[in-house]
Amino acid sequence: MNPVNNENKPWHKEHYVWMIIFFPMLAIVGGIITTILAVQSNDGLVVDDYYKEGLEINRTLERDKLALAYKLNADITLNEELGEVVIVLKADDEFVYPEYLSVTFLHSTRAGLDEEVNMMLTEKSTYRGHLSKLVKGKWYVYIQRDSWRLIKTVIVTK
């Protein structure tokens, strides 16, 4: 027969106590990390007023159709060293190039990085404007005037 060891160990030397303490402590540490990440990141809403945006969908679709009717296309060049963006518009002969364009750069996942630029016509179909440095990722570029809108995609790799 084996003698039973009835000696009392201190609580901190028992393995079962640490196993019971480990999982609640792990949950607390995970909660603290999650809270820190939630406070530091700016997730923001992509669109603040969904109802208003829903009502304007038909107007938006007509603006896109008008851009197709003009056969609008754009070549976008980003010069990050100078902080400049150059857009060359191409369109049919009936299109009248406006003096300025409203250009919005929308990050594909982070609304806090979105930026709007007013660009001036410098040559026949070339527009120039100043832009802060864009972070790496996929950007949607909305080139628009009152009656038409053109949507392009730009990938920033630096």
Give the model's pLDDT for residue 8: 81
The stretches of 41-148 forming alpha helices (DSSP H) are 50-55, 57-69
What was the pLDDT predicted at 25? Answer: 96
- Other CB atoms within a 10 A radius of the CB of residue 137 amount to 14
Which single residue is written with the structure tokens 């364009």? 101
Q: What confidence tier does 87 reach under pLDDT thresholds 50, 70, 90?
A: very high
Exposed e or buried b for every residue in 71-93, given b needs 16+ CB within 10 A? ebebebebeeeeeebbbebebee
pLDDT of residue 78: 87
The model carries a pTM of 0.64
Per-residue tokens: 72: 């609008």
Q: Which residues pair with 155 in a beta bridge?
A: 138
| Predicted confidence (pLDDT) at residue 44 exceeds the cutoff of 80 | no
Express each pLDDT in 92-134 by its tens digit: 888 888 999 999 999 888 878 888 999 999 988 899 999 888 8
How far apart, in whole angstroms, are the C-alpha atoms of residue 127 and residue 135? 22
Query: How far from each other are the two terminal CA atoms of the chain, in whole angstroms?
Result: 74
